[in-house]
Amino acid sequence: MNEMLQPDQIADAEDIAGAHPLFRDAPRSVEFNKLRKRLIRQMREAIDTFGMVRTGERWLVAISGGKDSYGMLALLLDLKWRGLLPVDLIACNLDQGQPNFPKHILPEWLSKHGIAHRIEYQDTYSIVTDRLKPGATYCSLCSRLRRGHLYRIAREEGCSALVLGHHREDSLETFFMNLFHGAKLAAMPARLMNDEGDVEVLRPMIWCAEPDLEKFAEAMAFPIIPCDLCGSQDGLERNAMKAMLNDIEKRMPGRKDVMMKALGNVRASHLLDPKLFDFLSLTKGD
């Protein structure tokens, strides 16, 4: 005998049923629907707050095969499906020639779900491993090479923006890496222009929490592809920042959200940068 659905469960099921076909096999639970709605709300807030959308433009959505980029693509497709994102989307995977990279997974998954995409092969893996000494951190050089190719592909595809799947933890980890090792206050902006001034970089998930994205990816059964380059290295500084932030959050729940709010609540007069605030012109009464 089938268990009778409660009214809120019926509403959740109908809500999922009206979503992008990618969600056809998604859980019909109240918990998953709340998670999806939270991620959608946070993404919409970031898109609106930072003015990311210009109607009719085309976005290149970078997808690596990791949980974050899968989640970002699914959420963007859902927004577009519901008429809330008036831009065209094309997914792009840059195959960087990493050993044992399963080349078939992403093309098959994207094609299965009818998602417009481009797969580009560029052997940046050999360049990184040839240029750097054993034990060196690959992330910085790998990222620069990957970003350069993605900018080129965006131009070739007529895209005004490159969309990346960085989230709350990525921004906070970057902030503390810059603070501890770069002697500067800087994080990951939600929106910026490349050096050439022709392609924007957008991070619509900048307020989304990594634990939420992990739960989302598991529930959606995305075919995750691990990174065999930077993901295979131990002792990375970013890992140290992640561990520190997780420890703070464990001891003082909610601190990550507070820190993210702080990144958008800057008091230049209470820092020490004379380029941001004219300390020399201060007079009594100011």
* pLDDT more than 70, % of the chain: 86
C-alpha 221/C-alpha 8 separation (Å) is 24
* 68: confidence class by pLDDT, cuts 50, 70, 90: very high
Question: What are the tens digits of pLDDT across the range 147-169?
Answer: 889 999 999 999 999 999 999 99
Angle between helix 7-17 and 30-49 (nearest 10): 50
Residue 203 has pLDDT above 80, yes or no: yes
Q: Could you give the domains of the chain? A: 9-163+187-229 (3.40.50.620)
State residue 165 phi and psi, 5-degree precision: -95, 35
Of 106-110, 120-124, 192-196, 203-207, give the lowest mean pLDDT range. Answer: 120-124
State residue 185 phi and psi, 5-degree precision: -100, 100
Question: What are the tens digits of pLDDT across the range 23-63?
Answer: 999 999 999 999 999 999 999 999 999 999 999 999 999 99
Residue 106 has pLDDT above 80, yes or no: yes
Question: What are the tens digits of pLDDT across the range 233-254?
Answer: 444 788 899 999 999 999 999 9
